[in-house]
A and B are shown apart, each in its own frame.
Chain A
Amino acid sequence: MSGLARTRSVALAVAARGIHNTFTNPAMWMPSVLFPLFFFIAFAGGLSSVQNAPDFQYGAGYTAFQFGFICIQAAAFGGVFTGFSIAADFESGFARRLMLAAPNRGGIVIGYVLWAMTRALLVLCVVFAAGMVSGMNFEGSSADLVALLVLSLAVSIVATLWSAGIAMRLRTMQAGPVMQMPIFILMFLAPVYVPLALVSGWVHEVARFNPVTALLEASRGFIAGDPTKVALSAACLAGLFVLVATWARGGLRSAEKAG
């Protein structure tokens, strides 16, 4: 069996186990579905009057505006929740047995990433359905919808590799806040409630340079049928991917050394 075939075989086995666990154990998928759904309801429902503020310009409406944020958030937190699962696998000793059995350990990380993407896809479908039921205007074409999906899944990959790097270094569920907090803070130091032009104070300055801002603007652009900052988002994601892939590789080495 070639190296590539071995990697693929390990990755598919790890992903299949994770996906099976996700779909057979509601405790695994409920938080990752309920968390973004709740934020969607709370923000789109409670804050929609903000769209009447002077200079708020987004034609598709406030529900669609928030949907752009929720897609990115759901994908990112899908990755974080997968990080929790990796940490749990280390706590239970399963990950160590997996590392002994796998001929190519890089395949384990790829498997976890595939699992996270499937999880993100499930959440995005539920949130999209909720958005459509609540009367959200999706003004983009089917190509825009596919682009939004690709963008979200790319965010899910980056978040999973970040969380996996931590989970494999610390190998305990107590590392949960370390995975979650930086992503949470990055997400909220971006234009979550209003377009960037209306964000005031120091958060505006931070948001201008925060890569999540470009991702949110691209996501909202696809929803409005007016793709915006697509190249910048792709560049941000590519840069982040290189960083977190290196980070996850270091985590894998650390876990290997720990035995």
Chain B
Amino acid sequence: MSAVTVGAGGSVLGQVALLAGRSVMHTMRAPAQLVFPIVFPLILLAVNTSGLDAATKLPGFPTASYLDFALAVPFMQGALFAALNGGQDLARDIENGFLDRLALTPMSGGALLAGQLGGALFTGVVSAILYLLVGVAIGAGIVAGVGGALVLLVLAVSICMAFACFGTFVALRAGSGEAVQGFFPLFFVLLFLSSAFFPRDLIEQDWFRTIATYNPVSYMVEGLRSLVITGWDAGALAASFGIAAAAIVLFLGLSSRALRTRLLRT
């Protein structure tokens, strides 16, 4: 607490660094928070690749390897887990009164938000790098090359940031870890009702294809996937980056407002 108080008197960047460091430390001290988001999506990748490889034999399937097709999914799942953990950390800070104590210091609201998002982003970056390395190690090819792999990482981290901002908003608004946990299935519903596991034009059921078409998660996944199986697809990348950016702006704005309301109550 004393370190935070000293930092609160310093620059905004110093404040952000202190809180982000604390958030990262929290994540490192609870290995389950880091291991589960990394291991679980990789297990599902392995299972889905083996189980759905037969789908690549369908006429019109965009690639001959389901591993290449599905490689984008772990990035999305990793982002969801990172957001969930980040939101729960913040909710815990609210529940145990840490946020109230911070509110008594001269720390700026922006620094508080940015610092809290640090832990989620840390998990997001570490897991995205691991997914990419494991994916390439087990035979996935990135058609867009090394540059594409770097853009893939940037896009994955942007998507992680978008989900983390949503998790932060829910935590600030509800102030309870249970509420953040309660939104987790919604994230998974969005992922499963998207084109994450099958190309949209090959989905047989009209109602499912319609939902996937209106589901923004489809475009996030398709942006990531385009770098792996298509190469440089400006349209897919623009849609994916655009949706991530819009979500960041929207939920960061809503989070700032929720934080102001919460601090006023304090």
| B interface residues (Cβ-Cβ under 8 A, vs A) | 32, 36, 43-44, 46-55, 57-58, 185, 188-189, 192-193, 197-198, 202-205, 207-208, 212
Interchain CB contact under 8 A, A46 and B198: yes
Complex Cα–Cα for A113 and B121 (A): 42
Partner of B185, one of A34, A53, A177, A203: A34
**Main DSSP-derived SS at the B contact region:** helix
Q: A residues within 8 A CB of B44?
A: 188
**A41-56 vs B, Cβ < 8 Å mask (1 yes, 0 no):** 1100111111011111
Contact A177-B53, Cβ < 8 Å, known A38-B192, A46-B212, A48-B205: no
Complex Cα–Cα for A199 and B49 (A): 9
Complex Cα–Cα for A47 and B193 (A): 11
Q: Which residue of B lies closest to A188 (CB)?
A: B47
Interchain CB contact under 8 A, A185 and B43: yes
Q: A residues within 8 A CB of B53?
A: 198-201
Q: B residues within 8 A CB of A204?
A: 50
Q: Which residue of B lies closest to A203 (CB)?
A: B50
Q: How far is the CB of B245 from chain A (nearest CB, A)?
A: 27
Q: Does A68 count as interface, using CB distance less than 8 angstroms?
A: no
Q: Which residue of A lies closest to B208 (CB)?
A: A45
Q: Which residue of B lies closest to A206 (CB)?
A: B50
Complex Cα–Cα for A198 and B55 (A): 10
* 9 pairs, CB–CB < 8 Å, chain A vs chain B: A38-B185, A45-B203, A46-B205, A49-B204, A177-B32, A191-B51, A192-B47, A194-B54, A200-B50
**A33-77 vs B, Cβ < 8 Å mask (1 yes, 0 no):** 011001101100111111011111000000000000000000000
Q: How far is the CB of A149 from chain B (nearest CB, A)?
A: 26
The size of the chain A interface, using a CB distance under 8 A, is 33
Q: B residues within 8 A CB of A193?
A: 48, 51-52
Complex Cα–Cα for A192 and B212 (A): 22
Interchain CB contact under 8 A, B197 and A47: yes
Contact A50-B52, Cβ < 8 Å, known A34-B185, A38-B189, A42-B192: yes
Partner of A194, one of B52, B197, B203: B52
**A185-211 vs B, Cβ < 8 Å mask (1 yes, 0 no):** 100110111100011111110000000
Give the total number of A-B pairs whose CB atoms are below 8 A apart.
86
Q: How far is the CB of A175 from chain B (nearest CB, A)?
A: 12
Complex Cα–Cα for A202 and B139 (A): 14
Interchain CB contact under 8 A, A200 and B193: no
Interchain CB contact under 8 A, A46 and B197: yes
Complex Cα–Cα for A185 and B40 (A): 9
Q: B residues within 8 A CB of A49?
A: 55, 58, 198, 202-204
Q: B residues within 8 A CB of A46?
A: 192-193, 197-198, 203, 205, 208, 212
Interchain CB contact under 8 A, A177 and B36: yes
Interchain CB contact under 8 A, A53 and B51: no
Contact A203-B193, Cβ < 8 Å, known A45-B205, A177-B36: no
Contact A52-B58, Cβ < 8 Å, known A47-B197, A201-B50, A204-B50: yes
Q: How far is the CB of A96 from chain B (nearest CB, A)?
A: 24
Q: Which residue of B lies closest to A195 (CB)?
A: B54
Q: How far is the CB of A73 from chain B (nearest CB, A)?
A: 14
Known: A46-B197, A53-B58, A54-B57. 15 other contacts (CB 8 A): A38-B185, A46-B198, A53-B54, A185-B43, A188-B43, A188-B47, A193-B48, A193-B51, A193-B52, A194-B51, A194-B54, A198-B54, A199-B50, A200-B54, A201-B49
Contact A53-B198, Cβ < 8 Å, known A42-B193, A201-B49, A201-B50: no
Q: How far is the CB of B88 from chain A (nearest CB, A)?
A: 13
Q: A residues within 8 A CB of B197?
A: 46-47
